């Protein structure tokens, strides 16, 4: 819908009319290209959004399965109410306990995923900060090694000067 007015605007000043085939092809090129570009861009965006929400989608699938189990237990309870004994009281208690634990786990997972989704930028900045700290730590260690090497060089230089002075003194005493 949006590409047709753009196609008309692009071909408005064309010398050939829309009646001949070249003018119609020229008119059709702009809307078709724009439509294809928008569709490709939208699909790329949706793939990226699906990657970000993959964990949430898996959790929602688990919620759907949980809901199906609840519905099955409800059907069994209704059958039990009509006189068909399908669940023993002990089995029912274990099933309800397992369903409570499953529900608590799903709620916790959904809340955790929400917090992680909301703080995704913070986690990214946190990872960048850690990388920056690692880089700075490596640089500091390199400076420390350079400092130790320069201290070692100074000690060697001083030892060389002392040995030269001792040699000069020995040579002077030997000349006397």
The mean pLDDT of 22-38, rounded to a whole number, is 75
Q: How far apart are CA 98 and CA 84, in angstroms?
A: 23
Domains of the chain, residue spans:
1-52, 54-118, 125-176
The pair of structure tokens assigned to 17 is 């009319």
Residue 88 pLDDT more than 80? no
Assess contact for 69 and 99: CB atoms under 8 A: yes
The pair of structure tokens assigned to 10 is 């692009």
State pLDDT tens for residues 112-126: 888 877 877 776 777
What pLDDT was estimated at residue 137? Answer: 79
What is the value of pTM for the model shown? Answer: 0.47
Residue with tokens 């992680």: 116
């Amino acid at each position: 819908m949006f590409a047709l007015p753009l196609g008309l605007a692009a071909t408005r000043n064309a010398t050939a009319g829309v009646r001949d085939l070249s003018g119609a092809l020229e008119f059709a090129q702009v809307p078709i290209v724009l439509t294809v570009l928008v569709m490709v861009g939208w699909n790329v965006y949706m793939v990226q959004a699906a990657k970000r929400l993959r964990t949430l989608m898996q959790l929602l699938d688990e919620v759907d399965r949980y809901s199906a189990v609840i519905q099955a237990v409800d059907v069994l309870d209704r059958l039990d109410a009509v006189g068909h004994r399908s669940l023993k009281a002990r089995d029912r208690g274990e099933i309800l306990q397992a369903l409570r634990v499953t529900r608590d786990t799903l709620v916790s997972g959904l809340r955790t995923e929400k917090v992680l989704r909301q703080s995704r930028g913070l986690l990214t900045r946190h990872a960048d900060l850690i990388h920056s700290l690692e880089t700075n730590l490596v640089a500091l260690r390199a400076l420390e090694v350079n400092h130790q090497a320069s201290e070692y060089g100074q000690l060697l230089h001083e030892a060389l000067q002392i040995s030269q002075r001792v040699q000069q003194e020995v040579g002077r005493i030997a000349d006397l």
